[in-house]
Structure 1
Amino acid sequence: MALIAGSYERFIWGFSLKTLTSSSASASSSETLALAPLFSYPAHAGPIRCAAAAARAGLAASGGSDDTVRLYDLPAAADLGPLLDPAAPVSALAIHSLGPVPRNLLAASDDGLLHLYDAGEGFPLLASLRVFPRHREPADALAVHPTGRVALAVGRSGGLAMLNLLRGRRSFSCRLEHPATAIAYAEDGAGGDRFVMAAEEKVTVHDSEDARIIHEIDCGKRVLAFAPAKKGILYTGGEERGITAWDLSSGKVTSRIEDAHSTRVKGIVVFDDKNDGSELCNLIASASSDGIIRIWDARMIAKEKTTPLAEANTKARLTCLAGSSLNSKESRNEADVELNC
């Protein structure tokens, strides 16, 4: 598993999650997790505003205020270089994968354009469209449906649009009562197709067929990050500094990590792929604006005192977090490190 985090200081941070096994003559062997650095360097000429990763392929991207999208191969810890098409600061990114194969990369910019790329060799540009032509507002968040056929975008001034990715055009748009800052597709506990949006301290759960509101969740303080998980759970974080798990079927809290970070939570990644039955599929990563990235066990969140399984301090003002399970034999073999002590 790997994470990528961006910062105000232009640095991009890459980490892989490794299992450390310690053993000695006087004690039985034990395993711990650690975030091992993959890379860190000033990838952009300005603050990094967004990041995205393919769930299992190890492809990641970052977007900055320098009008640039940069690509990364996480298993190889390699910078694949920039895309040249955005001509304005990049406001949102999304990557769609079909199984372990990345299919499309979406990049929105402050000039109101959305660029759709083929995520194959060379990343050719398939289409560029203006998401909100009447208001010319940029999209601040993107979500691609698991089928890869459509995507949702929320605009900075309160727009909501559905995009037909097969035809490269906008199919629907409307105005929201309050501008949303995050959007994602999810499933409820019964497998119902849903999407969720965050606006200030509220998260709304919608039916994907007709966009009707099923639940409105009051998180108390401004929501800055969320991530849907299996079994109809949504994890949220933000100004309250904790991480809360919500049941999308009932709209109620199922568990919470109080004071998960000392400052606001800026990113959440859920590793919920089956991954051959590995316990790593129960992990959650969170990043805070104080530079700390922490790994949590989802099964332990309901307990009173939850401690992180691993953490890393970037000493930077983090702005975004994305992750990949790196579901390949090579990646899993590299994750096993034995320390004799």
Structure 2
Amino acid sequence: MALVAGSYERFIWGFSLKTLTSSTASSSETLTLAPLFSYQAHTGPVRCVAAAPRAGLAASGGADDSVRLYDLPTAADLGPLLDPTAAVSALAFYSRGPVPRNLLAACDDGALHLYDADGFALLSTLRAFPRHEAAEGLAVHPSGRVALAVGRAGALAMVNLVRGRRSFACRLERPASAVAYAEDRDGGDRFVMAAEEKVTLHDSEDARIIHEMDCGKRVLAFAPAKNGVLYSGGEDRGITAWDLSSGKVSSRIEGAHATRVKGVVVFDNRKDGSELSNLIASASSDGVIRIWDVRTIGNGKPTPLAVANTKARLTCLAGTSLK
């Protein structure tokens, strides 16, 4: 399992989550975040990162109008993609099984760049928003056929990735900062959007609002899990687990971090009951990354299983379940 984090200081960090076995008679096991790499990846702040869920591939987007690629097993910087003509605000991989098929990059000029993950040739540049409207968040449907993008000026766009054009756009009541596809406990096809302190759950077919969840303070990051739970964090410095079927809080870590939460990662989407499927990660703006066991949430304030401190102003976090 690996994590990738970006910062205002232009650096990107990679960590591997490893199990350590004590040499004492008890032979207890502990988790640690072992450093993989640390690069000055961009010439401007790192604005977004993405990782292919079951592959050793990650990407970062920066204010320097570029996307950089990384191979996690070898801790190698694979170099930049220089096709974007504006700051890169959001990235998303589409994978079929363990194999990444496409990488999407949304930019401040409203463009959406679609790459083939084999060689990263630019397949198409789509217009999600007008040139004066920056993209803010991006999500690819599990089918890989469509993607959703939210704009900084308050628009929602659906892009048909098969036909290579925008198929739908509308104005939101207030600008959304993030969007993601999710499932409820019954497997319903949904998507979620964060707008200030609210998170709304929508039906993917007609975009109607199913639930509106009030997080109290501005939401800066969220991550859905396939067990019908959404984990959110932000200026409240905690991590909240939402039941998407009811729209209610199922558990919460109060004071998960000393400063605002800037990234949340669900390590695995499987329903096999493995230890891997019980772990989440969070990152805060003071540079601290923590690993949590979701089974301990709700039993007071849990102790993180592993902690790493980059001593930087973190802006984003992504992870992969690659062992």
TM-score by length of 1: 0.93
> Which residue is 1:190 aligned to?
186
> Which residue is 2:32 aligned to?
34
> Which residue is 1:279 aligned to?
275
* 2:66 counterpart (54, 65, 68): 68
Offset, 1:230:
2.1
The CA deviation string for residues 38-79 of structure 1, in whole angstroms up to 9 with x for no partner, is 001211001000111111112110000111100011111111
Offset, 1:276:
7.0
> Which residue is 1:16 aligned to?
16
- Structure 2 CA distance for aligned equivalents of residues 280 and 209 of structure 1: 32
The CA deviation string for residues 249-281 of structure 1, in whole angstroms up to 9 with x for no partner, is 100000000000000000000013339753122
* 1:110 counterpart (104, 108, 111): 108
TM-score by length of 2: 0.98
> Which residue is 2:315 aligned to?
319
> Which residue is 1:300 aligned to?
296
- Structure 2 CA distance for aligned equivalents of residues 124 and 168 of structure 1: 15
> Which residue is 1:128 aligned to?
125
> Which residue is 1:288 aligned to?
284
1:68–1:83 CA contact under 8 A, matched in 2:
yes
> Which residue is 1:94 aligned to?
92
* 2:243 counterpart (222, 247, 251): 247
> Which residue is 2:175 aligned to?
179
Secondary structure of 1:23's match? coil
Task: Please identify the structure whose Cα radius of gyration is greater.
Answer: 1
- Structure 2 CA distance for aligned equivalents of residues 212 and 318 of structure 1: 34
> Which residue is 1:223 aligned to?
219
1:273–1:325 CA contact under 8 A, matched in 2:
no
Percentage of identical aligned residues: 80
Give the alignment's Cα RMSD to 1 decimal.
1.1
- Structure 1 CA distance for aligned equivalents of residues 129 and 26 of structure 2: 61
The CA deviation string for residues 263-301 of structure 1, in whole angstroms up to 9 with x for no partner, is 000000001333975312210000000000000001111
Matched, 1:2 2:2: yes
The CA deviation string for residues 188-207 of structure 1, in whole angstroms up to 9 with x for no partner, is 01110000000000000000
2:5–2:317 CA contact under 8 A, matched in 1:
yes
- Larger RCO of the pair (alpha carbons < 8 Å, separation 6+): 1
Offset, 1:104:
0.7
Alignment of 1:54-65 (within 5 A): 54-65=52-63
Letter in 2 for 1:126: L
- Structure 1 CA distance for aligned equivalents of residues 241 and 162 of structure 2: 34
The CA deviation string for residues 297-327 of structure 1, in whole angstroms up to 9 with x for no partner, is 011112112010001000000000000001x
- Structure 1 CA distance for aligned equivalents of residues 183 and 270 of structure 2: 16
Secondary structure of 1:28's match? coil
> Which residue is 1:339 aligned to?
none
Secondary structure of 1:281's match? helix
1:292–1:311 CA contact under 8 A, matched in 2:
yes
Offset, 1:136:
3.6
Matched, 1:211 2:207: yes
- Structure 1 CA distance for aligned equivalents of residues 234 and 40 of structure 2: 26
> Which residue is 2:153 aligned to?
157
Letter in 1 for 2:194: A
Matched, 1:148 2:150: no
Unaligned runs of 5+ in 2: none
- Structure 1 CA distance for aligned equivalents of residues 20 and 167 of structure 2: 49
Letter in 2 for 1:21: T
How many positions carry a matched residue from both structures? 323
- Structure 2 CA distance for aligned equivalents of residues 63 and 145 of structure 1: 21
Unaligned runs of 5+ in 1: 332-341
Indicate how the Cα distance of structure 1 residues 231 and 110 shifts in structure 2: closer, same or farther if over 3 A, else same: same
The ranges of structure 1 where at least 4 consecutive aligned residues each deviate by more than 6 angstroms after the TM superposition are: none
Q: Which moved more, 1:311-320 or 1:68-77?
A: 68-77
Indicate how the Cα distance of structure 1 residues 215 and 275 shifts in structure 2: closer, same or farther if over 3 A, else same: closer
Letter in 2 for 1:11: F
Offset, 1:23:
2.1
Letter in 1 for 2:261: V
> Which residue is 1:335 aligned to?
none
Secondary structure of 1:147's match? coil
